[in-house]
Each structure stands twice: as C-alpha cells, then as structure tokens.
Amino acid sequence: MFVDSHCHLNFPELSSRLDDILSDMRSAQVSRALCIATTLDNFEDVHRLAMTHDNLWCTVGVHPDEEGTREPQLDDLLQGAGRARVVGIGETGLDYYRLNGRSVAEVGWQRDRFRVHIQAARALDLPLVIHTRSASEDTLAILRESGGFGSGQQEQPQAKGVFHCFTEAMDVARAALDLGFYISFSGILTFKSAADLREVAKMVPLERTLIETDSPYLAPVPYRGKTNSPAYVPHVAQCLADIHGCSVEAIAQHTSANFHNLFDRVGPWGT
C-alpha cells in the first residue's frame, strides 16, 4: 500500500534490528522502501540489503555533507548503477548549513560532486535523489545549467528525480516542479512548527508527490524525538490526506504510483 521513498536501513540504529523493522513495515502496510547510499563505502551495505530483501531497492551516491570520504568519480557511479536493484543516483545535491566558518566559494567541491552525479544520472537516464539545505538557489542553478543537452552532438536525457525531505519555501517548490522534479515530504510535515510546509504540500499536485521517512531521523508525530522507521510513513500519508481533504488510501495510491513512475527500474506499480 505505502512506499517509503527514502530511508537508511543500513545505519546502525536500524540495521541492528532489521528483522523487527521489516515485520513492522508489513504490519503498517509499507510494502516497499528505497535504501539510500550516502558514501561509496556504505553503498555496499545498501546494495546488500536490496539484494537480500525483495521489497527493498537502493541508490548509489555520496551525500553533499560527507567530507573526508572517497570522492565519487563518474565511473564509480556508472558501475554502481549497473548493478541489479540499483534504481537511482544519490543522494546528492548541496548543503551549506554547516560551512564551519567557510564561505560558499570554499565548498566548490560540493558543486563539482553534484555535477558528477547529474552527469551519471543523465548518462543512464536514472532519477536523482536531491538533498538541498540552505543552498536552494545554487541547487536549482546547477540543475538548470545541466538539464538540457550534452556538449557533443548526441542528445542526453534531461535531469529528473526528486527533491527529498522537502523543507524549502513555496518558490523553490514551484521551481522544482517546473524543472520536472517530484517533491517528497517526510515526518517534518507533521510537526506543529511546519505550517508553512503544509501550505507547500497543499500546492504540490498529488501526481508529483512522494512520501518518505528519512529514517532513522525525523520521526513523525506521534513518534517525534524517537528513532524513525519506514513503518511510520503512513503518518506522513495521513497528514497529506488531511491537507488535501482526501482519504489516506488515495495518498497511498498516488505516492506509490509516483514512486514506480520515477524509479521505473523497480517495475510497474502493482507488480
């Protein structure tokens, strides 16, 4: 029924009790989940999860906030994405929240890394899983500059994907939609302080909406402050149902179909 489009089941808070989490997912009618890589090293862990469990898939990529890790080269991403059950590139993007006294100019490596991910996604026509924090202007600018045709004569697919765990303003959401991206909402949507975000969610068409947990982080109300789990994604769906004035079953249908449309390597919805 429900799909968690972004979680980190390889993180120790969850991997140590994976059997219980998978059981909780079944009880909550969360039929599928996408495990997101954040480094090239933990890609091996998420890929192992995807290969071991028939309701899990994974991505390959290096998070923009990961420093001191192996820098991804184009071939790393292309080779990783060539494996079975790898359905997207990321998570990738820009994060200027923790500059630690540096200027934006001094983290040019983030922008270079982002461009490598976009290049890989376009080469394989795979969706990008985009993380942006305090950096939406540059994130959108790089997507715009990279979204058209390649430098040679051969046309390449336009960049596509999802802005995950969306917390940005209305204008950023509109810009992402204009570029053809989906928008994914997490447990933050249920927080009392997230009234503005709920207005954004009301604006985003259900045909372009995904839901996620980003677990083990950002557990929704009524579990806020506790370790998150894919089994809690129905609470995000219920919040969206309240916002749109429809049933939670309708949200499940829309968001699950959207997940399969975007991450089409998973296969058609209903298979």
Q: pTM for this structure?
A: 0.95
Report the SS3 class of residue 89. strand
Cα angle 21, 25, 26; round to 5: 120
Report the SS3 class of residue 246. coil
Question: In this predicted model, what pLDDT tens digit does every residue of 235-263 receive, in sequence order?
Answer: 999 999 999 999 999 999 999 999 999 99
Question: In this predicted model, what pLDDT tens digit does every residue of 160-199 receive, in sequence order?
Answer: 999 999 999 999 999 999 999 999 999 999 999 999 999 9
As a whole number of angstroms, the distance between CA 257 and CA 269 comes to 6
8 Å CB contact between 10 and 35: yes
Residue 147, pLDDT score: 67
Question: In this predicted model, what pLDDT tens digit does every residue of 138-151 receive, in sequence order?
Answer: 999 999 998 643 34
